[in-house]
Amino acid sequence: MTSNKMGYRTLLQEHRGLLSIAFVAMFSSSLGQSFFVGLFQAPMAEHLGLSAGQFGTAYTAVTLVAGFAMLRFGPSIDWIPPRRFALGVLGALLLGVVLLTLSPVWGLGLLGLGLVRLCGQGMMSHLGNTLAGREFTTLRGRALGLAGTGLMLGETLLPPLVAALLVWLGWRELWWCFGLLLAGLWLPLLWRGQWPEAPGRKPESRRQGGLRPFRERRFWQLLPLLMIMPVTMTGLFIYQAQMTEALDSNLAVYALALTGMGLAKLPGALLGGRWVDRLGAARVARLYLLPFVAALLIAVLNGGHAGVWALMVGGGLAVGAQESIATSLLVRLWGAEYLGTLRATLSACMVFSTGIAPAVLGIALDLGASFSQVLIGMLVLLATGWALAQPLLNRLGPGGDTTAA
């Protein structure tokens, strides 16, 4: 393929079946994402008999448990046939919906919430990204970009749809409707989808388990760079009130800017995927945070409504591009054979870090730090993560992402 403009068209024409699976998996992950669960926080807490604070604590706890579960179950996609993996994840996700909405006791309800978080945000996105990253070679970046639009569709479509449907339906009925929607989307794919074979065999023992990411120096060099956006954006989401007050803006502007962030993710994903294929993952990894760097500088130096918009749009562009870059780098460094193990470990690290970030920022604010100082700290964190990754990115060289799947 010599024409850069023909890349996406070629993918859709020749690999529609596999891309459909990855896209639906990413869309299905919406059911376990914080943006979706948060829409039902109040009725869920009331159903479980928990206060708002108790629900928040329980939510953090089940999220951390889901992160540990990702480390345990996520690598199995390296040897379990993807169709069977998807069937198991879908079944557990729907079971979680049933427990969450119908359980008469809070313990089973929290188990349901944990399954929704693990199988939605965790395993479904893990399935979509791993398939797109493993089964494509020269157009891997574009495939990951297209798969990622599934989650972006969920982030854009589901909040206003939920707000509209809550006029007629209760929160339980809405969850059942969305569960039936996912089942309807998955049934034809599971029945007639173009599924790849399992890429390898299950290790016979833990010692023969192959790659151990936490024992790899290269993984630790790369990890801070990939943690920057999840950590900083989580902080901005959680402390939106303090952010808008410090920047002399308001929550109405923030709400509009949040929509802008969702829209910015789409060009971030599609352009990021194209540039990964054209320029190479290592080269794009050095540049993709620049929109967020500019956003932080605008927020610190200028503030106001422009600062809020810059943070959301700049963050959206960087977050949209990151998935293609991260998965392509993992394949470049370790090959596609261990992509499931690597992505599961990376996902678990993101869960842990985003769970800890609000507490760290909260302590800083309680100790008297201004939000402008918090933003400067984010800029320092970004520069540090970027610098730590440079020796590794330099060794990869400027070549394109051509590692065979």
* pLDDT tens digits for range 303-334: 899 999 999 999 999 999 998 899 889 988 88
pLDDT of residue 205 exceeding 60? no
pLDDT at 78: 86
- CA–CA distance, 128 with 369 (Å, rounded to integer): 40
pLDDT of residue 202: 66
Closest CA to 193 of 81, 269, 96: 81
pLDDT of residue 21: 93
Query: Which residues are CB-contacts of 292 (< 8 A; sequence separation ≥ 6)?
Result: 228, 229, 232, 314, 315, 317, 318, 382
Contact, 186 vs 24, CB < 8 A? yes
First and final C-alpha spacing in the chain: 17
Contact 276, 140 (CB under 8 A): yes
Q: Taking each helix axis from N to C terminus, what angle separates 290-301 and 217-238, rounded to the nearest 10 degrees? A: 40
pLDDT at 24: 95
Cα–Cα distance for residue pair 392/396, rounded to 1 Å = 7
| Residues of the chain above pLDDT 70, percent | 93
Class of 213-400 in CATH: mainly alpha
**pLDDT for the residue numbered 175:** 94
Average pLDDT over residues 261-281: 88
Closest CA to 27 of 115, 121, 92: 121
Does residue 96 surpass a pLDDT of 60?
yes
Rounded Cα gap, residues 345 and 368, in angstroms: 35
281/393 Cα distance (integer angstroms): 9
Residue 401's pLDDT band (boundaries 50, 70, 90)? very low
Share of the chain above pLDDT 90, in %: 34
Indicate the pLDDT class of residue 61, thresholds 50, 70 and 90.
Answer: confident
Q: Residue 3: which pLDDT band, with cuts at 50, 70 and 90?
A: very low
CATH number given to 1-202? 1.20.1250.20
Q: What are phi and psi of 398, to 5 degrees?
A: -85, 0
In terms of average pLDDT, the best of 108-112, 192-196, 250-254 is: 108-112
Average pLDDT of 168-182?
92
Q: Return the CA Rg of the chain.
A: 21
Q: What is the pTM of this model?
A: 0.82
Q: Write out the two tokens for 115.
A: 């399954």
Q: SS3 for 288?
A: coil
Lowest model confidence (mean pLDDT) among 95-104, 236-245, 274-283: 236-245
User: What is the band of 155 on the pLDDT scale with cuts at 50, 70, 90?
Assistant: confident
Distance in angstroms (rounded) separating the CA atoms of residues 64 and 263: 29
Distance separating alpha carbons of residues 312 and 260, to the nearest angstrom: 7
Average predicted confidence (pLDDT) for the chain: 85
d(CA 356, CA 141): 30
- Residue 260 — φ and ψ, nearest 5°? -60, -35
Give dist(CA 174, CA 180) in Å, integer. 10
Residue 12 pLDDT exceeds 50: yes
- Per-residue pLDDT band at 403 (split at 50, 70, 90): very low
Q: Is the pLDDT of residue 5 over 90?
A: no
Alpha helices in 32-135 (DSSP H): 34-37, 41-48, 52-73, 82-102, 106-116, 125-135
Decide if pLDDT at 199 tops 90: no
Sequence-distant (6+) residues with CB within 8 A of 184 are: none
CA 323 to centroid of chain Cα atoms: 8
Q: How far is CA 51 from CA 41, 58, 59, 116, 155, in A?
A: 10, 10, 12, 20, 27
Phi and psi torsions of 51, nearest 5°: -75, 170
- DSSP for 190-235 reads HHH--PPPP-S---SSSTT----GGG-HHHHHHHHHHHHHHHHHHH
What is the rounded average pLDDT of the residues 252-271?
Answer: 86
355 burial (CB, 10 Å; 0-12 / 13-18 / 19+) is: middle
pLDDT of residue 209: 52
φ and ψ of 197, to 5 deg: -80, 165
Measure the CA–CA gap between 222 and 325, rounded to whole angstroms: 11
Average pLDDT over residues 235-263: 85
Checking if the pLDDT of 370 tops 90, the result is no
CATH 1.20.1250.20 occupies which residues in the chain?
1-202, 213-400
| Residue 161's pLDDT band (cuts 50, 70, 90) | confident
